Structure 1
């Protein structure tokens, strides 16, 4: 099976499995797991933050990030197709009792002027906006990378208005590789920011959220409150650390393969969102084909993609090679042209 469903479909490599097997472990709960401590220090340094904490999932990072940056009744601004809003089962509303005020962005991005429109405080009865959530790269916009100037404008404005900034950085390192801009620069103005290890980096699970020492101290409370306390977490931390050491620079290969696939889809007459990184969204209706039928036809030929809304999504990752892309293009040709 050529699995382009998501970059979460990766399997641990032989080298990663050896790292897991040889990991030195202790009790994470009492801060005596050396491999987990090492990973947290590595991530904090990578993002230019004082501290970081290892959590079981990216969704928990978002739950914790919203919780420690807001109070009940606050308003969170985010882009209207953001992962927090669309794919986390209403977690912030349930856990933090906050409201969300989405902005209709372009390519998953929005401007200072759009934020200003949301900050009308002419009525004392209007709930306060306290947090802006950014997503880098932006999944449902097509793995898009924010332009640095726009990113800095939004973050600077947030600070000028005493708003906190939380960054869903599940695929931040894809943005780093695609833009050539280091992680510290993207993280500089964020109060909280996290990276995921189970997507393009190829680890089985886990993410780290980073911020000031004071903020991460609060994150620990929420980690336990949400059931995120672990014991011998060094086994998974070893996989994450291996991923950071071995699987970052190679993300450029995923980006190149996504572009190759996108170019082929254009040749078929598909409407394609030009990929910045490793995610390709496309619509086959301009080819006279139903997207659901195309996804089903590809699966019958051993290629797995997903239908999301009115588009199909294909995601390249470390388990997809050049031959897989060639085979996928061949399968598409057979499905489209019969």
Structure 2
């Protein structure tokens, strides 16, 4: 039986042989006691890379994002973000549950918001309004088809937040995809953000883990919140070692994923069952199904022919390229797309 080509997400990757070797030989200790030197090395490596003071290793990007929001808000505050933002749509209502904060939603093109959009949504000091305290950006934007912020776009947002006394957090779930695409330097990010969440288990291919970056004061508070969230891990250096290996070996190869995504997009543009394809910048391909088809019919037809993907709305499907989708699989997928004859609905 032929193995299916899995475009559902870049979270489905398996550790490489080199990564497994690094994990199995990691020096570990009890991280809750601050004794795991591999965890400390990962936190230090990323905080230095992004020019921030400290880091905190957590099980997931959802946890790092929610800890950051908890650090930067008080009950009755308001978080400003795009309506597509992962922190709003895909984190289980965590902003309300954990932080008792409301959310002010913007509608940026492909999830990219600007100072001009943010400024009028910052509440004045009024007993009727929640206190605007935090802006969250996502880079790359998942529901924006992997759209990237550049540092040139981020800088004026950071300046606005500073002038208005708001904190600025980055959900950097796929930040290295953005860095590879834009050519910006990670070290230039620290000056703009109060918190940065770095995910290691997507394009970088680690099995588990994200790191929250911030000031020493922020990370000290975040450690206690992580404990309350149940995120304190013990010999987690085995997992941190995978993150270190990924940072040392899997960043530059993200360019291959981006090229593969563009090849898939070109094939989908020509397919009869596709109405449109969102512009591709990184490793995410979003496409709308043509009239007469349904997402479920296309999803099932692709699956029957060996391709797995997911829906991203009533009329949209998503492909994500990653470490485990090589050039041969991309060529095979393109051939399947070109030959696919899904049934139309009446």
TM-score interval, smaller chain: over 0.9
CA contact 1:289–1:336 (8 Å) conserved in 2:
no
Most deviating of 118-127 and 232-241:
118-127
Rounded to whole Å, the distance in 1 between the matches of 2:253 and 2:312 is 27
Give the distance between the partners of 1:337 and 1:290, measured in 2 at CA.
10
8 Å Cα contact 2:204/2:251 also seen in 1: yes
Tell me the secondary structure at the aligned position of residue 9 of structure 1.
Answer: coil
Conserved in 1, the CA contact under 8 Å of 2:140 and 2:177? yes
What runs of 5+ residues in structure 1 fail to find an aligned partner?
A: none
Q: CA deviation at 1:187?
A: 3.5
Task: Tell me, in whole angstroms, the C-alpha distance in 1 between the residues paired with 2:270 and 2:289.
Answer: 12
CA gap of 1:331–1:53, structure 2 versus 1, over 3 A, is same
Q: How does 1:168-207 map to 2 (within 5 A)?
A: 168-207=171-210
Higher mean C-alpha displacement, 107-116 vs 236-245? 107-116
The Cα offsets for residues 236-264 of structure 1, whole Å up to 9 and x where unpaired, read as 00011000000000000000000111111
Q: How many residues align?
A: 337
Q: Deviations over 1:138-196 (max 9, x none)?
A: 11111110133222111111111110001100100100101110112234210000111
CA separation in 1, counterparts of 2:37 and 2:152? 39
State the match for 1:329 in structure 2.
Answer: 334
Runs of 4+ in 1 over 3 A off after TM superposition: none
Query: 1:337, CA displacement in angstroms?
Result: 7.0
Asked if the contact 1:136/1:167 (under 8 Å) is kept, the reply is: yes
RMSD: 1.3
Deviation at 1:333, TM superposition (A): 2.2
1:219 to 212, 219, 222: 222
**CA displacement at 1:301 relative to structure 2:** 1.1
Shift of residue 120, structure 1, vs aligned partner: 3.9
| TM-score, with length taken from structure 1 | 0.97
In the aligned structure 2, how far is the partner of 1:41 from the partner of 1:120? 37
The yes-or-no answer on 1:145 pairing with 2:138 is: no
TM-score normalised by length of structure 2: 0.95
Which residue of 2 is the match for residue 308 of structure 1? 312
Give secondary structure in 1 for the equivalent of 2:148.
coil
Q: Give the alignment of 1:1-338 within 5 angstroms.
A: 1-121=4-124, 123-268=126-271, 270=274, 271-285=276-290, 288-309=292-313, 310-336=315-341
Preserved contact between residue 3 and residue 305 of structure 1 (Cα < 8 Å): yes
Q: Is the 8 A contact 1:103 1:114 kept in 2?
A: yes
The verdict on how the C-alpha distance between 1:120 and 1:23 changes in structure 2, with shifts beyond 3 A counting, is closer
Partners in 2 of 1:284 and 1:324 — Cα distance? 23
Q: CA deviation at 1:332?
A: 1.6
Kept in 2, the 8 Å contact 1:223–1:229? The answer is yes
- Work out whether residues 294 and 335 of structure 1, in 8 Å CA contact, stay in contact via their aligned partners in 2: no
SS in 2 for 1:130: strand
Whole-angstrom distance in 2 between the partners of 1:31 and 1:119: 39
CA 225–32 in structure 1, closer or farther in 2 if over 3 Å, else same: same
